[in-house]
Structure 1
Amino acid sequence: MSQFDTETRHLKQPADHILIASILLLTGLGLVTLHSSSYGFAERFKGDGLYFFSRQIVLAAAGLVLFFIASNMKLDLLRKMIGFLVLGTILLCILTFIPGVGVSKNGASRWIHFGSFTFQPSELVKLVLPLYLAHLFDKKGDDIDRFSKGILPPVMMTTLFVFLIYLQNNFSTAMFIVLNVLIIFYFAGVRFRYFFSAIVILAPISFLLIATKEHRFRRVMSFFFPEMDPLGAGYQVRSSVRSVSSGGFWGKGLGLGTRKIASVPEIHSDFIFSAYAEESGYLGILLFALLFAVFAFRGYSSAMGNEKTFPRLLGLGLVTMVITQTLLNITVVAGSLPATGVPLPFFSAGGSSLATTLIMAGLIVNISKTRNVPSFAGNTARTEV
């Protein structure tokens, strides 16, 4: 007589090839869309129609190298580097305020010089903070619900990053970080009473920060009352909505969109989805949604299939960071939220965003290799006569 029992083993698995395919397809689709959406703008204002595309290609190549490294490095080694990564990111955020190093555009100090390229440190925060939180919550274990040991340290670190990003005049990214940190807290199992306290504190602060800055207040008011400033604060979103709807079912065809030329300001950046929707139509939007749905499903499945706290929380945090940013960008482009300035992952012009997103994607693929799989161990029971 024999009996079989099932056990779960934490073994190194092959990488999730469907997940990798979705990442590479999104990267390629983003590059094609950027080429089409940016050519006219770059030709008029930079004298070279390939200005944004050529820079994005270089940074995409670097990002794919980093993607490969992140997808194959040992997570234990990564944990040993977290202190250095956190400190380095804080210093990079501070460098944005240093004259000669930091770059200011339209009253915002969000970038630093790296030769002929610029880098936006707040993009790196989207990677480093989930790493730090996953590491810390794993270490805290049973102390996670003790305020002084489990809640206060991550809150203080989050507050520091959010404060530095806010000082860069990047309110939307600061609030985006807060939202994702709260979601990671939820995944970690923090009790609901802390979320209630956070809402009570954050709601009036957010209202004051919006009301005391004219450009933020105008964006919000133009969202609720579009007729107040149709050619000012509300112009970009209104034009974007018209661009999305003009694509119809089939789209106008690659490179044949017309509203990207002058109708939607900065269409190659935060509003690139409107150019994509105009040229690819509802069929293209369906493909876009399908690719991100596959990315989200496979990423979440790999993370949830991990019995270890660090890779599980890290995977959940990184996938959530990419998906919430995508949803936020699209809702703005579709006119369902006020303009935020949050880029579209894999698509928007800006090497900082693309490179960071590819590193995050690489870590998500890495985590898919350590997911749990069921195995069957046969045990033969002796039968005595």
Structure 2
Amino acid sequence: MMARVLAPYHNLRLNLSQLSDRQYVLLSAGFLFCIGLIMVGSASMGVADANYGNPFYFFTRHLIYLAIGLVAAAVVSQVPMATWNRYSYWLFLAALVLIILVLVPGIGRRVNGSMRWIGIAGLTIQPSELVKFAGVLAMAAYLWRRQDEVRSRWMGFVKPMAFVSLTVGLLLAEPDFGASMVIVMALMVMLFLAGAPLMLYLMISCGLLLVGVLIMIAEPYRMKRLMAFTDPWADQYNSGYQLVQSLIAFGRGDWFGVGLGQSVQKLFYLPEAHTDFVFAVYAEEFGLMGVMILLVAMITLVMTGLRIGQRAECAGQVFSGYVAYGLSVTIGIQAAVNLGVNTGLFPTKGLTLPLVSYGGSSLVMMFVVLAVLLRIDAEASEPNERAVSRQGGTHDYR
């Protein structure tokens, strides 16, 4: 009798074990995109109605961004990894130019005290999202070309840190400390995976940590956030307001949540409820059980991306492997920071939750990232000789 009851669950376990990496990526990403659409609609209704007279303003725009992202993914999925390898430095240079344009008066747009956006044809573009993607491609191309140098010589490690420093410097000028942190951490992980000398890696990491601390204490508003992070209730109506309201949302959610659309914190209590703090609203409406499901989906996506990278590297597609590692780590780090900010583990940062939060640039680039991961998966599944040839493994694009 018990065997008959458990039979469907046994079959489910077998079916899950038979899913390919491509299917895991599509299922986990599709779930997160759906959750994002639902939560953006739920969390933004009040502010959209108050500011635009249309409760579905952000929901509609989110749908449009999803459609644009699908088109972008369809196009990007047709681009061979050899092409990304060949033009990775040029793409990175273009991304840096966009970052510089953000800082030019009259071109960059200031929102909440930061110059992080460019207005083009009625759309607002955030170049830092492109920099994350282009930075991973450029680092992967460098590691593919100079792998032996990175593993054996100090200069092989120091040279890529020069362009990392340039990128971070431009982002901090906006200022965008959150994006800078994600990029530095992701590229450092890529260097570690490439086999950089451990002692040098630890020295550079400690140096970067020290620089991060100095940057944190150099700006009064960052110190204010740090103090609010350590004890948000001490100034719950000022510097600690966001974190306090976020924690209240988690407390209200309890085990199973208050129900979809029933959040109170999104009603002008929690700032940025549909962007940086959408996870808190989700926790309030779906509770701890919903949070666990979302975490499983996010972890599945990141781990599958890392597995795709490992398979590509084992197939001789070194550049593709590093790209998959870098993109997966970037998603994981940004998600971890956003979740940490929402739960009070990290000081407040202006970072969205990948695939879930509202934001056109972030959403479209997430589709591009997923398309590249799926392309890597497809090429890694081809016979080794053909895949390596298509990637440019027999040529040196120095």
Bigger drift between 200-209 and 244-253 goes to 200-209
Q: Partner residue of 2:358?
A: 349
Classify the secondary structure of the residue corresponding to 2:182. Answer: helix
Query: What is the CA–CA distance in structure 2 between the aligned matches of 1:149 and 1:207, rounded to whole Å?
Result: 25
Classify the secondary structure of the residue corresponding to 2:146. Answer: helix
What amino acid does structure 2 have at the position aligned with 1:341?
Answer: G
CA drift of 1:160 comes to: 1.1
Q: Partner residue of 1:68?
A: 74
Classify the secondary structure of the residue corresponding to 1:174. Answer: helix
Q: Partner residue of 1:115?
A: 121
Computing the radius of gyration over CA atoms, which structure comes out larger, 1 or 2? 1
Bigger drift between 212-221 and 292-301 goes to 292-301
1:128 is the counterpart of 2:137 = no
Bigger drift between 225-234 and 87-96 goes to 225-234
Query: What is the CA–CA distance in structure 2 between the aligned matches of 1:305 and 1:118, rounded to whole Å?
Result: 37
Query: What is the CA–CA distance in structure 2 between the aligned matches of 1:180 and 1:330, rounded to whole Å?
Result: 17
1:192 is the counterpart of 2:198 = yes
Contact 1:19 1:295 in 2 (8 A): yes
What is the number of residues matched between the two proteins? 362
Contact 2:303 2:328 in 1 (8 A): no
CA drift of 1:201 comes to: 2.1
1:338 is the counterpart of 2:344 = no
1:315 is the counterpart of 2:324 = yes
Aligned in 2, Cα 1:29/1:187: closer, same or farther, shift over 3 Å? same
1:368 is the counterpart of 2:374 = no
What amino acid does structure 2 have at the position aligned with 1:357?
Answer: M
What amino acid does structure 2 have at the position aligned with 1:177?
Answer: I
Greater helix content? 2
Among 184, 187, 204, the residue aligned to 1:181: 187
Contact 1:95 1:101 in 2 (8 A): yes
Q: Partner residue of 1:30?
A: 36
Correspondences of 1:53-202 after superposition (within 5 Å): 53-147=59-153, 149-202=155-208
Contact 2:28 2:300 in 1 (8 A): yes
Contact 2:152 2:197 in 1 (8 A): no
Query: What is the CA–CA distance in structure 2 between the aligned matches of 1:356 and 1:373, rounded to whole Å?
Result: 26
CA drift of 1:293 comes to: 2.3
Give the alignment's Cα RMSD to 1 decimal: 1.9
Contact 2:136 2:326 in 1 (8 A): yes
Query: What is the CA–CA distance in structure 1 between the aligned matches of 2:380 and 2:25, rounded to whole Å?
Result: 13
Query: What is the CA–CA distance in structure 1 between the aligned matches of 2:114 and 2:72, rounded to whole Å?
Result: 28
1:294 is the counterpart of 2:300 = yes
Q: Partner residue of 1:265?
A: 271
Q: Deviations over 1:162-203 (max 9, x none)?
A: 111000011222122111111111111111122222133223
Bigger drift between 271-280 and 151-160 goes to 151-160
What amino acid does structure 2 have at the position aligned with 1:205?
Answer: V
Unaligned runs of 5+ in 1: 1-13, 376-385
What amino acid does structure 1 have at the position aligned with 2:318?
Answer: T
Q: Deviations over 1:345-372 (max 9, x none)?
A: 0111110111111111111111111336
Q: Deviations over 1:125-175 (max 9, x none)?
A: 111111001111001131123556522331111111111100001122212
Contact 2:151 2:194 in 1 (8 A): no
What amino acid does structure 1 have at the position aligned with 2:45?
Answer: Y
What amino acid does structure 1 have at the position aligned with 2:303?
Answer: F
Q: Deviations over 1:97-148 (max 9, x none)?
A: 1222110122211000012210110111111111001111001131123556
Contact 1:140 1:149 in 2 (8 A): no
Contact 1:15 1:369 in 2 (8 A): no
> TM-score by structure 1 length?
0.89
Q: Partner residue of 1:327?
A: 336
Greater strand content? 1
Contact 2:228 2:234 in 1 (8 A): yes
Q: Partner residue of 1:380?
A: none
Contact 2:242 2:271 in 1 (8 A): yes
1:46 is the counterpart of 2:55 = no
Q: Deviations over 1:28-56 (max 9, x none)?
A: 21111101101111111222212212222
Query: What is the CA–CA distance in structure 1 between the aligned matches of 2:92 and 2:382, rounded to whole Å?
Result: 33
Query: What is the CA–CA distance in structure 2 between the aligned matches of 1:298 and 1:373, rounded to whole Å?
Result: 18
Higher relative contact order at CA 8 Å, sep ≥6: structure 1 or structure 2? 1
CA drift of 1:208 comes to: 2.0
Classify the secondary structure of the residue corresponding to 2:115. Answer: strand
Query: What is the CA–CA distance in structure 1 between the aligned matches of 2:70 and 2:155, rounded to whole Å?
Result: 38
Unaligned runs of 5+ in 2: 1-19, 385-398
What amino acid does structure 2 have at the position aligned with 1:333?
Answer: N
Bigger drift between 287-296 and 199-208 goes to 199-208
Instruction: Percent identity, please.
Output: 28
Query: What is the CA–CA distance in structure 2 between the aligned matches of 1:212 and 1:144, rounded to whole Å?
Result: 33
Q: Partner residue of 1:359?
A: 368
